[in-house]
Amino acid sequence: MMRASRLLEKLDFTCVRGGVDREVSALVYDSRKLEPGCMFVCITGTKTDGHGFAAEAVRKGAGVLVTEKDVELPEDSDVTVIRVENTRYALAFLSAAWFGHPAERMKIIGITGTKGKTTTTYLVRSILEHAGRKVGLVGTIEAIIGDEHIPAGNTTPESYVLQGYFRQMADRGCDTVVMEVSSQGLMMHRTQGFTFDYGIFTNIEPDHIGPGEHADFADYMACKGLLFRQCRVGIVNCDDPHWETVTGGHTCALETYGFGDTADLQAVNMHLVTKPGSLGVDFDVRGLLDLSVETNTPGRFSVYNALTAVAICRHFGVSGEDIREALLHAHVKGRIELVKVSDDFTLMIDYAHNAMALESLLTTLREYEPRRLVCLFGCGGNRSRLRRYEMGEVSGRLADLSVITSDNPRFEEPQAIIDDIKEGIGKTNGQYVEICDRREAIRYVIENGRPGDIIVLAGKGHEDYQEIRGEKYPMDERVLIADILQERGSNP
């Protein structure tokens, strides 16, 4: 129980009915969870409007309503009505108060950008935990609270859920939280109610533009930029041509990183590293820190991810040895995840599920001069057919062999999706085979791998299921690989 007046302390509001000196039993924004004595926050969503449930909330005993517009209520109801400018914004502050402002007990790191958020959060967690800190994580794949792993619904969860995670993390002894911050999360005020100690910008490209997302690229950049009005220190990739636009109007101290001479923290002397069955890169860090590091993931974007993590972790006084050790052994499920199958060729799993990501990945792997670059992929059903044409064209252009298979067909016929992909490949001179069953496709690339090949299983990444006609069936590519190797009597 908590008094409404205490929950409202950090908000501008008008009490249009009743009084704020009453006890609140629960903070609720989902009408299905209404209970007597609760404070119900009327959220305007894309499909439903919580204001339409105000009368029902009163009938079910809600003591306080928080609204941003007029609502119709029973005339004899004993309810307090609070008016605010934006109920989503208000929910973030109410949630922070409800859970006792847990963010104030920890260092909070927020990472935003089009690419690299997920990998960087795990690298930061790995380095800081290697140095003895206890770190909670919130991101696209999961939330990690101690030993508990909670599958993610959104990259940045609703503010009430996020504050609940923070409270659990603080109660379990976490001293630091590293989290992905999506443009949608910023736009919908999910990260209000606290201040980030460090806000990070990785890069930005046109993405998430369309109905229900961002109106245009300018809006996308503006939403990303909100992070730098809500953090104490901003750490930004100054190689990105849009970084000054994104950080325009910032209220934080700024420092930069990148390959360029003007960066405060620079990556220099990059070298590709090839070992039996694996790929990596080493480089030197100069400027605010002098350090030589190696990562076990390939390419220039791996340097950016590692450099971002170094730029953050140096603020925590982490030793160079701890940084080196953690970067060398860190891995992220489904993000350029190397799976040892043979010393003769390299196999990896990656989440690349659109043309932009696939092109970036395959272009990077080309730099390692493989005997053959083999790309196994499919496309999701009930999604834009354009993605299929584009991915087919990218793989046909950049891979020596494309193996077209199923991803999540959902309610479409797998062969129809494959036919669309083939239309894209047909615009190139690329060779391909089609094997509808993903397990059999993986078996094919393993059994036909040649010395010097690099084989990519693209699209599923961290997902451990396949969605067919509305049902999710277990399918983890790591398990499939292990089963295939066992059947063949092979040991990686």
Return the bridge partners of 471, or none: 468
Handedness of CA 237, 185, 461, 413 (dihedral sign): negative
Residue 66 burial (C-beta neighbours within 10 Å; 0-12, 13-18, 19+):
buried
pLDDT for 8-47, tens place per residue? 999 999 999 999 999 999 999 999 999 999 999 999 887 8
- Examine the pLDDT at 246 and tell me if it is beyond 90: yes
Question: Is residue 350 over pLDDT 60?
Answer: yes
Contact residues for 147 (Cβ-Cβ < 8 A; gap 6+): none
d(C-alpha 430, C-alpha 62), whole Å: 63
156-185 pLDDT tens trace: 999 999 999 999 999 999 999 999 999 989
Rounded to the nearest 5 degrees, what angle is found at the Cα of 203, between the Cα atoms of 393 and 144? 100
pLDDT at 25: 97
How large a percentage of the chain has pLDDT more than 70?
97
Q: What is the mean pLDDT of the chain?
A: 94
Residue 190 CA to residue 181 CA, distance in Å, equals: 9
pLDDT at 396 over 90: yes
79 Cβ contact partners less than 8 Å away, ≥ 6 residues apart: 17, 18, 58, 62, 63, 64, 65, 73
Say what the pTM is: 0.91
| Phi–psi pair at 137, nearest 5 degrees | -135, 140
Are 100 and 186 in contact by the 8 Å Cβ rule? The answer is no
Q: What pLDDT sits at residue 211?
A: 59
Q: Which two tokens stand for residue 365?
A: 């792997």
